[in-house]
Structure 1
Amino acid sequence: MNSISQAIRRVWAGPWIPPDQGRMPYFWLLSLGYMFWKYAYVHPSAVEAAMLVLTFVVFIPLYCASYWARGWEVLACMLGGCLIGIAWVRWNVGASTFFIFACAMAAQIMHVRRAMLAIGGVIAIGVLTSLLIEPMQMRFMFLMPILTVSLPVGIGSFMDARLRRSRQALVRKQEEVEHMATIAERERISRDLHDLLGHSLSLIALKAELARKLVHRDAEACAREIGDIETSARQTLAEVRAAVTGYRHSGLAHALANARASLAAADVELCEQVERINLLPATEHVLALALREAVTNVVRHAGARRCTLSLFVEEGSVVLRVLDDGSRLRTHADLRHGNGLSGMQERAAALGGKLALRVGTGLALELRVPAGGAA
């Protein structure tokens, strides 16, 4: 009963009808005019006029509440409409309109079978109610609207409500998809920023350390290192700005150049075996970021003296391998899958590729992504 009282209070305070229903429910109230056909020929008594006003005062809030009702409340509203029709049947055959309204209320029932049974029940009650009318002509006038209009109105109202619920569900699904896309974009930007800043700041830190060592021994070399630091900082700033706007496409050639500079600054020998491959922009972007992260890990964590880097096409896949002879990683337990490795795996999976790590005499990283348009 709390739900019905809440619905009635809502009707009193407004809006009377749920806003998504539009204006048509108010228009259908004009069907109550069917009750006035009798009075075109017969003048109503004072009691009958008062009962007519009371009927509208009771029925209109009941009708509006039916749009907010759910579950058994819908059946209660339908039964209320039928009872009003039964109460009027001996005095006004226009009371058949209340049975039509009751069929329309079945639109709020979610299940097709239950809605059809409820509509059939209302029509059956209307047919049985017609037996209370003695003149056959009046009985026919009462039954005709119920038999010809109630079923189409009930089915039409149910289908319209079902279509409206489907549209609302579709809108919610689209909102969820947009929300998930926003989250995925934020995660992509955070991964890219981590990879960019991790690599570039490591390079800047190494060169700053080298410049500090050279400041008293070789001023010219120190100046070159400081110049490289300035250049790297400007490049990093430009790349971060591009990443934030979502339009960054990191070139593989640029990533290779940075890898050479980072490894050289860390005094790690580089053995390079890179084939010239025409790559799709998305594939090149993933490989470039993976190369950045892999080289950053070599410089920061491996303690390596030698690094082998290879890029080639094998069995329809572009393969990037980075091997180092570092001694700090002895077992897979020593690997910490932080944001960098997780970002590699997620980007590779998005292209249908995979990332493999092997710990032996150093760390071997292999990234495979579909070649697609590679040649």
Structure 2
Amino acid sequence: MNKIRQVLAGPWIPSEHGKMPYFWLGSLGYLGWKYVYAAPGALELAMLALTLAVFLPLYCASYWVSGWRTVGCMLAGCLIGAAWVRWNVGAASFFIFAAAAAAGLRQMRHAMLAIAGVVLLGLLASLQVDHPQMRMMFLMPILTITLPVGVGAVMDARLRRSRQALLRKQEEVEHMATIAERERISRDLHDLLGHSLSLIALKAELARKLVHRDLDACAREVGDIETSARQALAEVRAAVTGYREKGLAHALASARASLAAAEVQLDEQVERFDLAPAAENVVALALREAVTNVVRHAGAKRCSVSLALEHGVAVLRIADDGQARSEADIRHGNGLCGMRERAASVGGRLALRARAGLELELRVPAGVTT
């Protein structure tokens, strides 16, 4: 019972496909066109309900399966269409759905052969229609819509799989870079603090032994401990400053690598100037998030990144030539909300414009401190 509830709760179609697969079910309206001018009998209504009860789960399943199971879904759709063609020429819809299911076949050659097979089965099914005009009404959608829909679905699936592979590769590169950076930091801290802390420990032990025998010598050792501790603190601060300075540089390097992997041409105009650690962190994270959005969602071929200092304000501008054309095309997800919140936390602001692509402008006071 719990399993049935989970299935009914969904999702019925993988979330990466969005809402469009549900919208395409409206094409079944072609099957109901007949009943505008001819009322169905009780038996035909029962058979129609049974057909939909079988087809709808089959349609949803076609988005989850692959390989020979996809071929099974396509064949089942064609059989449903062939069973209905004699009584309702709107059964051509089932052949169109069957062609779209070819997206589950990874090999282009196999997908094209499967679509051709659907068209052929549609032609054979049309032989059941005796009236020439009705036969033509059945064949027109199959001959004009089936091939474009099938090829479009296959190309869309290939593009989706390519993007997923690219994202996995990008995540792997970022993960390896994070591990390498952690190892580098641990080595640096060991080199910085290992000697200093060992020296402080030895001098503290010596001062403890001298405290009852030679106060002057003990005072000198305590002074050395203070000097060594201050020196170690200065080295740690210098190291942390170095890491912060490399934060934006690392984000830029990661952006170049991600855009290059996605075959997006980069136009970079980045000025070098001092930034407070908090401001640099906001700029670096915004750059990383914006480039990730370009790679994942924009479908862009070109991307420009500029960073300049304008009257004490660091201005980051990122623009792409992707699909965004209006405010409705901008996805206000967690990434953009996070950018706005981080910018606001240091007195900055984020602006977005959708024209011939998406334009992002981040303004952060360069001298903000934590």
Counterpart CA distance in 1 for 2:139 and 2:66 is: 29
Identity in percent:
75
Structure 2 residue 190 is matched with structure 1 residue 190:
no
Deviation at 1:201?
2.4
Deviation at 1:102?
0.1
Counterpart CA distance in 2 for 1:210 and 1:242 is: 29
Tell me whether 70-79 or 208-217 shows the greater mean CA deviation. 208-217
Structure 2 residue 123 is matched with structure 1 residue 161:
no
Q: CA, structure 1 residues 10+104, in 2 after alignment: closer, same or farther (shift >3 Å)?
A: farther
- Please give the per-residue CA displacement for 1:265-302, whole angstroms capped at 9, x wherever unaligned: xxxxxxxxxxxxxxxxxxxxxxxxxxxxxxxxxxxxxx
- Please give the per-residue CA displacement for 1:122-153, whole angstroms capped at 9, x wherever unaligned: 11111111112112222111111111100100
Work out whether residues 208 and 225 of structure 1, in 8 Å CA contact, stay in contact via their aligned partners in 2.
Answer: yes
Query: Which residue of 2 is the match for residue 36 of structure 1?
Result: 32
Query: Which residue of 2 is the match for residue 293 of structure 1?
Result: none
Q: For 2:77, which of 72, 78, 81 is the aligned residue? A: 81
Structure 2 residue 26 is matched with structure 1 residue 25:
no
1:231 aligned partner, one-letter code: T
The size of the alignment, in residue pairs, is: 243
Deviation at 1:168?
2.0
Counterpart CA distance in 2 for 1:171 and 1:221 is: 63
Query: Which residue of 2 is the match for residue 260 of structure 1?
Result: none
Query: Which residue of 1 is the match for residue 166 of structure 2?
Result: 170
2:14 aligned partner, one-letter code: P
Query: Which residue of 2 is the match for residue 365 of structure 1?
Result: none
Counterpart CA distance in 2 for 1:48 and 1:168 is: 45
Deviation at 1:13?
3.7
Structure 2 residue 105 is matched with structure 1 residue 109:
yes
Counterpart CA distance in 2 for 1:54 and 1:82 is: 16
Q: For 1:59, which of 49, 55, 58 is the aligned residue? A: 55
Structure 2 residues not aligned, in runs of 5+: 246-370
Q: CA, structure 1 residues 174+246, in 2 after alignment: closer, same or farther (shift >3 Å)?
A: farther
1:57 aligned partner, one-letter code: A
Q: Partner of 2:44: helix, strand, or coil?
A: helix
Counterpart CA distance in 2 for 1:14 and 1:212 is: 70
Deviation at 1:220?
3.9
Deviation at 1:116?
0.7
Counterpart CA distance in 2 for 1:178 and 1:158 is: 30
Query: Which residue of 2 is the match for residue 231 of structure 1?
Result: 227
Tell me whether 95-104 or 171-180 shows the greater mean CA deviation. 171-180
Deviation at 1:26?
0.3
Deviation at 1:177?
2.2
Q: Partner of 2:87: helix, strand, or coil?
A: coil
Counterpart CA distance in 1 for 2:90 and 2:79 is: 14
Q: CA, structure 1 residues 39+213, in 2 after alignment: closer, same or farther (shift >3 Å)?
A: closer
Q: For 1:142, which of 127, 138, 145 is the aligned residue? A: 138
Counterpart CA distance in 2 for 1:91 and 1:190 is: 75
TM-score, reference length from structure 2: 0.60
Tell me whether 40-49 or 27-36 shows the greater mean CA deviation. 40-49
Query: Which residue of 1 is the match for residue 92 of structure 2?
Result: 96
Deviation at 1:121?
0.8
Alpha-carbon RMSD: 2.6
Counterpart CA distance in 2 for 1:28 and 1:216 is: 90
Q: For 1:130, which of 126, 133, 136 is the aligned residue? A: 126
Work out whether residues 123 and 146 of structure 1, in 8 Å CA contact, stay in contact via their aligned partners in 2.
Answer: yes
Counterpart CA distance in 2 for 1:224 and 1:234 is: 15
TM-score, reference length from structure 1: 0.59
Work out whether residues 200 and 232 of structure 1, in 8 Å CA contact, stay in contact via their aligned partners in 2.
Answer: yes
- Bigger radius of gyration: 1
Work out whether residues 11 and 17 of structure 1, in 8 Å CA contact, stay in contact via their aligned partners in 2.
Answer: no
Q: Partner of 1:91: helix, strand, or coil?
A: coil
Work out whether residues 8 and 61 of structure 1, in 8 Å CA contact, stay in contact via their aligned partners in 2.
Answer: no
Tell me whether 45-54 or 226-235 shows the greater mean CA deviation. 226-235
1:149 aligned partner, one-letter code: I
Q: Partner of 2:128: helix, strand, or coil?
A: coil
Q: Partner of 1:131: helix, strand, or coil?
A: helix
